[in-house]
Structure 1
């Protein structure tokens, strides 16, 4: 029987409970939420599964040791003393990521450099050969976390951030992060129970994540590689078993997922991304101005979208733009739930609808609000009296 060990999954602010639920449903034990992270326990097969199947995880880290550090020489010596030859060989390559919350260590880049020096010096002293540094495709990616005097050393089983699903080869201005898009859809309560629409779809990220959620498709199925695939103990047969088991849980979807964008170039890019993800049978994308649209059927409709904030993507009159969002929703989309994210709190006031829910999130470094508008058939008062 494979032995369980402790792992840490990184996520975005506001996604911690979502990720904890995902991990529990996948079979993790000892699940505990932190700030932008969730700790849990599982075996090697579960580590593979978490990387493949978690929609709201950015990284899955495998801690290998923790110790007290008091200065840079102390850090160097304790990193040097670890048996790195168990995790890579002298002909491999490495990259080091560091996060520091400490009075003694104030620069994460310095900690990364000191860690790298200690590891390559150990290999050179023992074998006469030093491994290379490769920031893009290392055979081993190492994570150093220093909190006050406690240094935790982890192996990064994900490699590149898990938001890099592998399907998005075409991007538009101000694209939304795939993990954020998936988390927004999950926070909105949509699981595939009705029609879904993104009226400002850009490069198609929200639509792609919605389709994968509806069909229970593993979000990272299209990735080229995970970090653990270059580890000495990687078990490709076990990974194949995990992947095949996940593929067997894919389900049918009986509603409609569609999106608009008034920019024909964006629509072309979105269609390419959807094709890359093999999701074109589930998603329809058209060149259309949302402000000139209306609901296409009497069925329940769920909207999730990421309008311009007038930050990375500018709008000539942002207040009028948000007023048009509200007018279009009121006029054309009765019987719908509309969710949108924005960092422009002043523009949000111009929507002219009272949000029934507000959730604080971050889009990159921008503090944002993810808001819900319930759009009733007829008046809200009439709805309450039914």
Structure 2
């Protein structure tokens, strides 16, 4: 592997590609290119460590190591059984394979995974009369198999556990939002740590913690213990330590407020535990408060929230969204509010026209991330006051 010039693919959620591309450019990525649910770029080994540690909207980071065309299963196996696997995998290490297959020739990803596993095992048995073991739960080395029609790409997964597993979430509610999605939503909404932030239905606190991490410029993986690249043959522990020190030393001061409301004491207890694990009790305040009975306390204010979804939590939908709109209009003047929902029909009951609609996915649910701008007077009057 040429560690001075790596081709890198970074996976993300649909709708976050642009945000991720901007992150990667800021972190020093070269030849950054947006793809569907991914961003491709180039960089050296240090850059690979840096984006694993710092990129907020990355799900996993892959390094392609072998690409070829195969028109049948036998050719696929023959190519793989001759590949020098010991360059990436030691006999005493365990491995696992993730597969994605989009092909009319190869229709079963599980079967192709088994064929690749057989090729790796046969390679080592023929050369060393010993073989590495498979561990699907916690492997030392994780390979990614991608087949697009006849094109086969084998990559090393440099992250290991998906990067949304930040390490601070010990408790979660009925409908938790993914950490990567939460950070992407905040960045789409323009949160940069200037001003104040409110999540009026905070659940287990993910949006609050991600907002605080952005405000303080904390690395996304500050609480993570291990990355897969630490098991690679070329792992440079000293370089990774320097990168971590450099990123941690870029932490900023934050003088605004980050507040979360919820009406469920259990959810508030979950949020407080997660906030404590993230060591942010001094930064984030959560309290029992019904949003529909609240009034704006913070100026200026950005509001972002993930209301309960009818798919997982039963609510009286029409009444819920009407109350949300009434609260926006009556109690939160001059506020920018964003919410994510999977039910656009019900969201019409808010009674305000969203100024932006962005398609995102929360798990398998197709959603819209909606922006509402509340002004005390007309927009024209408000702009005159601001200027």
TM-score range, shorter chain: over 0.9
**Residue equivalent to 1:263:** 264
Q: Deviations over 1:154-192 (max 9, x none)?
A: 000000110111111111111100000000000011101
Give the alignment's TM-score, normalised by structure 2. 0.97
CA shift, 1:383, in A, is 2.7
CA shift, 1:385, in A, is 6.1
For 1:112 and 1:313, how far apart are their aligned partners in 2?
A: 37
Report the secondary structure of 1:244's partner residue: helix
CA shift, 1:124, in A, is 2.0
For 1:251 and 1:111, how far apart are their aligned partners in 2?
A: 47
CA shift, 1:381, in A, is 5.9
CA shift, 1:194, in A, is 0.9
CA shift, 1:70, in A, is 1.0
Give the alignment's TM-score, normalised by structure 1. 0.97
**Residue equivalent to 2:314:** 314
Q: Is 1:290 matched with 2:288?
A: no
For 1:247 and 1:307, how far apart are their aligned partners in 2?
A: 33
Q: Deviations over 1:324-348 (max 9, x none)?
A: 1111111111121100000111111
For 1:304 and 1:18, how far apart are their aligned partners in 2?
A: 17
Which stretches in structure 1 are left out of the alignment for 5+ residues?
A: none
For 2:313 and 2:4, how far apart are their aligned partners in 1?
A: 49
For 1:206 and 1:307, how far apart are their aligned partners in 2?
A: 12
Judged with a 3 Å threshold, the aligned counterparts in structure 2 of structure 1 residues 24 and 384 are, in CA distance, closer, same or farther, namely closer
For 1:245 and 1:382, how far apart are their aligned partners in 2?
A: 46
CA shift, 1:378, in A, is 3.7
CA shift, 1:128, in A, is 2.2
CA shift, 1:129, in A, is 2.1
**Residue equivalent to 1:13:** 14
Q: Is 1:369 matched with 2:368?
A: yes
**Residue equivalent to 1:95:** 96
**Residue equivalent to 2:345:** 346
**Residue equivalent to 1:68:** 69
**Residue equivalent to 1:55:** 56
CA shift, 1:136, in A, is 2.0
Runs (4+) of structure 1 exceeding 6 A deviation are none
User: RMSD of the alignment, in Å?
Assistant: 1.4
CA shift, 1:309, in A, is 2.1
Q: Tell me the matched-pair count.
A: 384
Matches within 5 A, 1:133-144: 133-144=134-145
CA shift, 1:236, in A, is 0.8
For 2:256 and 2:383, how far apart are their aligned partners in 1?
A: 27
The 8 Å contact of residues 141 and 231 in structure 2, kept in 1 or not, is answered as: yes
Q: Deviations over 1:75-130 (max 9, x none)?
A: 11211111111112122111100111110111212221211121122122222222
For 1:76 and 1:281, how far apart are their aligned partners in 2?
A: 56
Report the secondary structure of 2:25's partner residue: helix
The 8 Å contact of residues 334 and 377 in structure 1, kept in 2 or not, is answered as: yes
Which stretches in structure 2 are left out of the alignment for 5+ residues?
A: none
Judged with a 3 Å threshold, the aligned counterparts in structure 2 of structure 1 residues 23 and 385 are, in CA distance, closer, same or farther, namely closer
